[in-house]
Amino acid sequence: MDTERLHLRPHQPGDAGWLYRLYSNPEVARYLLDEPWTAELTARRLAERLSRTDLDGEEGALALVVEYERTPVGDVQLWFTDRARRVAEIGWVLDPAHGGRGLATEAVGAVLALAFEHAQLHRVVAMMDARNTPSARLARRVGMSQEAHLRQAWWSKGEWNDTLIFAMLAADRTG
């Protein structure tokens, strides 16, 4: 799938190197559920991503590499949380070296278009650590609405964390 500046594609076995470099960066991992990735965790997470090739396939999930000028710069994932009712969750990561130019906005916007216009989803949710301001700004920029601020609802990395819930409905796009 192509956007103005980006190419989005499924993962390949050769993606381990850049995934490891990106996800082992403590700055990137700070608000993610995983600790910074080790080589072993990279192999496991890549194996998961390799099977996430079709939202309506066996895994009920789609994991896409975001390429800018033929270089992988991040990934976006979409997975069913309620397949029967066509409700999914979305997650995103962009290499900070490529941040601040709207590339994540462009990639996530394209995946949301795919989710609603192609896959006919009813609702897409994004959940994030409430301290993750860049992620919340991204959710707002792509048109998602903040629905909740859950206080100390998630225990992660040795402390209670607040969680923000953003969502978009199919009806939000049609007006």
Q: Does 8 bind ligand COA (CB under 6 A)?
A: no
CB 63 within 8 A of CB 49: yes
Within a 10 A sphere around the Cβ of 21, how many other Cβ atoms?
14
Stretch that binds ligand COA, among 58-66, 78-86, 102-110, 149-157 (CB under 6 A): 102-110
Sole window of 28-36, 63-71, 115-123, 143-151 interacting with ligand COA (rule: CB under 6 A): 28-36
Query: Of 44, 83, 85, 101, which one interacts with ligand COA (CB under 6 A)?
Result: 101
Least distance CB 111 / ligand COA (angstroms): 12
- Structure token pair of residue 95: 């290499």
CA nearest to 126, candidates 75, 72, 87:
87
Amino acid at 19: L
**Toward ligand COA, which CB reaches closer, 60 or 91?**
91
